[in-house]
Amino acid sequence: MRITTSFITLALAALVTAGCQCKSCNTKVADIADDGSTIAAYDESNGKATNNEMTITEMHIKDIDGNDHSLREEIAKNKITIVDFWASWCGPCRQEMPNLVNLYGSYKDKGLGIVGISLDTEKEAWKEAISNLGITWCQLSDLGGWDSEAAMVFNVRGIPYTIVTDSKGTILATGLRGSELVQFIEEKLK
């Protein structure tokens, strides 16, 4: 079978236009406890929580130096925390990162925290991206790629992907990027 150059060009254009590294799409996401009850559920189509009881699940993930971190403890350090799912190999993630760096610089002293959760599989690529992109906030990864525990628990299907929480881990919004994320953080940290 012969693939034409124009077909390849169209396929690449479609991927770039999509703006994410999608595995598949979901409109509703839920985190289910061992007893079957819903811990967290939210509607990705509008980035809003579907009830008032949704909180981030506790998990422990290692940083770039192999130190263990509690996700809930990292979130509790801030008034508002952005949990940012990304990877060094993700073009749209790298494009979005300067926005996060600027947002963090503007609001870290007002209570904003960011916890990056990388879907990288290669530690050196992850470490190099952190340095090159000027990322100064907590970075975590189990280097499991799409099979990482955090990606599975939070049903992450495409990156970049954000979850915004309050200090108690209550999910306030999901999937915000760019100016929408900036506006949301500005409103919450006035």
- Give the list of residues 6+ apart from residue 59 with CB closer than 8 angstroms, or none: 70, 71, 149, 150, 153
**Taking Cα atoms as reference points, which of 82, 111, 85 lies closest to residue 169?**
82
Mean per-residue pLDDT, 24-50: 39
Mean per-residue pLDDT, 102-109: 97
pLDDT at 9 over 60: no
Distance between CA atoms of 25 and 149, rounded to whole angstroms?
Answer: 18
Structure tokens at 48: 């809003």
**How many Cβ atoms are within 10 Å of 113's Cβ, its own excluded?**
21
**Taking Cα atoms as reference points, which of 132, 159, 128, 165 lies closest to residue 145?**
159
pLDDT at 23 over 50: no
Mean per-residue pLDDT, 56-78: 95
CA 139 to chain centre: 11
Amino acid at 130: I
- Predicted local distance difference test score (pLDDT) of residue 2: 40
Which has more pLDDT, 93 or 10? 93
Query: pLDDT, tens digit, for every residue of 121-166?
Result: 999 999 999 999 999 999 999 999 999 999 999 999 999 999 999 9
- Predicted local distance difference test score (pLDDT) of residue 54: 84
pLDDT at 31 over 70: no
Element at 17 (helix H, strand E): helix 5-18
What are 4's strand-pairing partners? none
Alpha helices (runs of H) in 36-162, residue ranges in sequence order: 71-76, 91-107, 123-133, 149-153
Contact 96, 177 (CB under 8 A): yes
Mean per-residue pLDDT, 8-27: 33
pLDDT at 37 over 80: no
Query: pLDDT, tens digit, for every residue of 77-104?
Result: 999 999 999 999 999 999 999 999 999 9
Average predicted confidence (pLDDT) for the chain: 80
**pTM score:** 0.74
Amino acid at 75: I
Residue 188 confidence class, pLDDT cut points 50, 70, 90: very high
Tokens 């494009």 locate to 95
Distance between CA atoms of 161 and 42, rounded to whole angstroms?
Answer: 13
**Taking Cα atoms as reference points, which of 49, 60, 139 lies closest to residue 93?**
139
Residue 114 confidence class, pLDDT cut points 50, 70, 90: very high
What are 139's strand-pairing partners? 116
- Predicted local distance difference test score (pLDDT) of residue 53: 55
Distance between CA atoms of 112 and 35, rounded to whole angstroms?
Answer: 33
